[in-house]
Amino acid sequence: MGGRKNFNYLETEMKFIGLLLAVCGWLLPVASLTWTSSLAARFIFALIGIALCLTGILGFLNRAYAKEAIWKK
């Protein structure tokens, strides 16, 4: 029972981190508009932002849900 609780706690954490990464991935390139006027820097920030979003959604959020997927039970 305790193991199950830890397992759920980990999943909830993963979900939260996933959403946080996705939001940060959006805010980073948007905020960079005010930090720098360099096109190359803005391009890199946008690229990092997209990578963060995808990592958050597919790497954390989806994996957290996959841990408790119906086909694993």
Partner 1 sequence: MRRKNLNRIIRGFVLAAYFLCGVPVWAQTPSQPTTSTQAAPAPVLNAPFPVKEANPPSAEEMAKGDASGSLTGNVNDITVSNPKVGLTLADTLNQVGQNKVAINFVWTLITGFLVMFMQAGFAAVETGLCRAKNANHTMMMNFMVYGIGLFAYWVCGFALQMGGAAGVSSLGGAAPLSGEFALHIAGKTWGLWGTHGFFLTQGGTYDVAVMVLFLFEMVFMDTAATIVTGGCAERWKFAAFAVSSVFLAAITYPLFANWAWGGGWLSQLGANYGLGAGYADFAGSGVVHAVGGLSALAVAIIVGPRIGKYNRDGSSNAIPGHDITMVLIGCFILAFGWFGFNPGSTLGASGSLRIATIAVDTMLAGATGTFGAVFYMWIRYGKPDASMGGNGLLAGLVAITAPSGFVNTIGAAIIGLIAGVVVCLSVEYIDRVAHIDDPVGAISVHGTCGLWGVLSVGLFADGTGIGGVKGLFYGDAGQLVAQMIGVATLLGFVFTLSFVFNLLVDYFVGQRVSPQAELEGLDIPEMGALGYPEFVLKMQGPGMAAGTA
Which residues here bind partner 1, judged by CB under 8 A?
Answer: 19, 22-30, 33-34, 37, 39, 42-43, 46-47, 49-50, 52-54, 57-58, 61-62, 65-66, 69-72
| Nearest residue (CB) to partner 1, 10 versus 66 | 66
Closest residue by Cα to residue 22 from 45, 55, 64, 68:
55
| Nearest residue (CB) to partner 1, 10 versus 30 | 30
Contacts of 49 (CB under 8 A, 6+ apart): 24, 25, 26, 27, 28, 29
| Nearest residue (CB) to partner 1, 10 versus 54 | 54
